[in-house]
Amino acid sequence: MPDVDANQPLGTPTWVDLAVAELQPALDFYGAVFGWEFRIGPEEYGSYTTCLLRGRPVAAVFVDPSRTPAWDVYLATPDCDATAALAAEAGATLLQEPDDVMTQGRMAMLRDPVGARVGLWQGRDHVGCQVVNEPGALVRNDLVTPDPGTARRFYARVFGFTLDGNPDMPGFDFTFLRRPDGHEVGGVMGAPDASSSAWGTAFEVADADEAVRRAADADGSSPGAEEFLYGRLATVRDPFGAEFSVIARAAG
């Protein structure tokens, strides 16, 4: 279902945000690509700006000049402190200890055992993305890593994921991550040539080629869209260096 009004189950990608050096150029770019509107503030949130689709939160952008621009993904948890403690026991490094974000929720930031940055979110007033799986909204997050075995063990232990291979992609080391209820929430892609590990963020679009054109017109870049097993896919780099994917999913 594209609309989300309650906290997601443990381990579900539930929120994404982007740190940039300058706010307005980022809003101009992502507004042009996805048609998002924006809500800045309130004042106590500083530059933290919520991206809206149909008036509902789908992502956020904020200013942090100390960060290399990149999209962060937050995995849902009903108990941020307990999940962070278990993650640390399983080999993660706590980059940010669990802390309250006003009345919005409780968050922590980790670096997992393969070096990928990933957040935890325990929603209160803010449950996370309130629109998913439709054009302009988050559709998928996958971890790309040269050490998939370590990643699989870590995420299975911390979030209770089951691990399933993908027979549709026999030439790739790809593992589905599924919640205990069987729902697929993401995947781990083994990439021996990858120089580092990172979670990727993919947004759905109605037309991948048009999204690439819009990105290029707004000073982004892309090698172009290609046909993929699950739709037409493109990697996009925004004007600030952050990468994300867009996909126009195949019918059916």
Which domains does the chain show, CATH number per domain?
8-67+131-252 (3.10.180.10)
Question: How many Å apart are CA 16 and CA 9, to the nearest integer?
Answer: 16
Question: How many Å apart are CA 192 and CA 49, to the nearest integer?
Answer: 36
| HSE (side-chain half, CA atoms, 13 Å) at 194 | 19
Q: Are 126 and 57 in contact (CB under 8 A)?
A: yes
* pLDDT at res. 44: 60
| Three state DSSP letters for 222-247 | CCCCEEECCEEEEEEECCCCCEEEEE
* pLDDT at res. 228: 85
3-state secondary structure of 30: helix
pTM score of the predicted model:
0.96
Per-residue pLDDT of the chain (252 residues; tens, 9 = 90+): 589 999 999 999 999 999 999 999 999 999 999 999 999 876 667 789 999 999 999 999 999 999 999 999 999 999 999 999 999 999 999 999 999 999 999 999 999 999 999 999 999 999 999 999 999 999 999 999 999 999 999 999 999 999 988 877 777 899 999 999 999 999 999 999 999 999 999 999 999 999 999 999 999 999 999 998 888 999 999 999 999 999 999 876
Q: How many residues does the chain have?
A: 252
